[in-house]
Amino acid sequence: MAGNLEQTILNVIARAPADEQLSYTLGERNGQPWFMLVYGQYPTREAARSAANRLPDSLGLSDSWVRAFESF
């Protein structure tokens, strides 16, 4: 997930089970801060999609998208 409010990212992280591989990074979009939540690193796009399909319901995310780190 991504957005311009850091608190939104922090709220999702707070709902995550302790062993989840979540982290976030700060970028810029349209001249504004852009916070991005990242769930692990995977060797292929297919492996990343598979992991995205198994995200815990406790995160409260209705959709996910796979991106290469280079696109950040």
Greater pLDDT, 42 or 64: 42
For residue range 12-26, what is the model confidence (pLDDT) as tens digits? 888 887 767 888 889
How far apart (Å, rounded) are the C-alpha atoms in residues 46 and 60?
22
pTM of the model: 0.69
**CB atoms inside a 10 Å sphere around CB 35:** 19
